Structure 1
């Protein structure tokens, strides 16, 4: 509870969204301290217990609440990209969060977002810059895949949404080929199978096989085994898209 109070206070005393994140972060540290005190029967000095918890919370990784708020903020940018808010896109985002973090935690994240962040200007540049040093490249690819899933939830990915997603991919330092590969999993064209494998239609059969092996290594679900269920499910979906693209090319060429 303290972390949500901290988010609200941080917003008004800090600098908007990032003040809220800092407040949420510090409140989380206090919550962790209190929980640890209960579990240990208050053993050790108060100062030492808080020091230990705070050091754990400030390591170079994204705390769950912090990561979720940043992810939901990026989702809101995509949802608003075409000038309308689709209920299907909102439902997609909520269901994803429930699968990844559980209903109670997901609802808490949405409450904090709606109370503190929703109606304020959200900077994709700052969010992506913040996450770049705290997430692996494979995780950022999965975030982009999730954001494309939101855009497609209303039936199609519009050009304004593609433009916004391209901008976010740039902030995430995702290379052009990887962006095009994921985009073509959602925006189907005649050469999408080749784009997914990151090759040209003129590629030889041997080059197609080599590209498939490379993509299998890149998108194998095992790369996200340490992530939540929704991320692993997304990795499996990307993996299936790669397999389907390869099978389509095989069929077309009679390989």
Structure 2
């Protein structure tokens, strides 16, 4: 199938078209070949075997990330244009316009009208993504929910559910969550400490969190993912500076 699409793409757009065609054909081939071996009762994500280990292919990662995005967008029963725009902008910046559009088309044609299970998606992604990348996925989902300047309770529940399935620790979840909410103690939550922590504990927590969220952790990812890592790292620095100012450190 992938070679057929490559030939068709070459006929219409030359060499670039053949690459795009091969990319789309590879995704469809994987989907239809795997689906033919499974029952029709399951969701699209029944094709993924949780027992499989190893790295996730770029096309699988993009489709699964887009599927998780759709769960957040639809969480409150309303499709926000600002949230849709954020997802499109993120994918275009990450993968380029043509590749992003190919992913959107595949999602709309194959995945959109099927059951999307956060449990199955995360079971597939979890063993294939480093913990730092899973944290970045969570940060990305919060950015979607906050695109309209408000994270609803239903969106929060969906993101918390995804975080649990990705096995993101509760403290890390609360830390990233605090980056999107203003409260009297959100600086402490970002550093994953209590307000009663000693000055030494504050300094230790800052060093720990700065190391965890350092952009170098995602240097193998696309530029937009590194930008997300930089955003988290900056929030950690701002939280530490706020506590320093409060305490006169």
The residue that corresponds to 1:253 in the other structure is: 247
The residue that corresponds to 1:128 in the other structure is: 122
The residue that corresponds to 1:169 in the other structure is: 163
**Rounded Cα–Cα distance in structure 1 between residues aligned with 2:201 and 2:80:** 41
**Rounded Cα–Cα distance in structure 2 between residues aligned with 1:11 and 1:117:** 14
Question: Does structure 2 conserve the Cα–Cα contact (< 8 Å) formed by 1:6 and 1:20?
Answer: no
Say whether 1:6 aligns with 2:33. no
Question: Does structure 2 conserve the Cα–Cα contact (< 8 Å) formed by 1:9 and 1:20?
Answer: no
Q: Out of 169-178 and 111-120, give the one that drifted further.
A: 111-120
The residue that corresponds to 2:57 in the other structure is: 63
Question: Does structure 1 conserve the Cα–Cα contact (< 8 Å) formed by 2:86 and 2:144?
Answer: yes
List per-residue Cα deviations over 1:201-225 (Å, max 9, x = no partner). Answer: 1111111111101101100000110
Question: Does structure 1 conserve the Cα–Cα contact (< 8 Å) formed by 2:171 and 2:192?
Answer: yes
| Distance apart, 1:9 and its partner CA | 3.8
The residue that corresponds to 1:237 in the other structure is: 231
The residue that corresponds to 1:17 in the other structure is: 44
Q: What are structure 2's unaligned runs of at least 5 residues?
A: 1-20
| Distance apart, 1:188 and its partner CA | 2.0
**Rounded Cα–Cα distance in structure 2 between residues aligned with 1:150 and 1:187:** 14
| Distance apart, 1:251 and its partner CA | 1.2
The residue that corresponds to 1:51 in the other structure is: none
**Rounded Cα–Cα distance in structure 2 between residues aligned with 1:115 and 1:187:** 36
Question: Does structure 2 conserve the Cα–Cα contact (< 8 Å) formed by 1:82 and 1:160?
Answer: yes
The residue that corresponds to 2:99 in the other structure is: 105
Q: How does 1:83-162 map to 2 (within 5 A)?
A: 83-162=77-156
List per-residue Cα deviations over 1:81-138 (Å, max 9, x = no partner). Answer: 1111101101111111111111111110011101111122101001101111111100
Question: Does structure 2 conserve the Cα–Cα contact (< 8 Å) formed by 1:7 and 1:19?
Answer: no
Question: Does structure 2 conserve the Cα–Cα contact (< 8 Å) formed by 1:10 and 1:21?
Answer: no
Aligned residue pair count: 220
| Distance apart, 1:6 and its partner CA | 2.5
Q: What are structure 1's unaligned runs of at least 5 residues?
A: 23-57
Q: How does 1:180-195 map to 2 (within 5 A)?
A: 180-195=174-189
Say whether 1:218 aligns with 2:181. no
Specify the SS of the correspondent of 1:153: helix
Q: 1:122 to 1:221 in 2, by over 3 A?
A: same
**Rounded Cα–Cα distance in structure 2 between residues aligned with 1:5 and 1:211:** 46
Q: 1:3 to 1:213 in 2, by over 3 A?
A: same
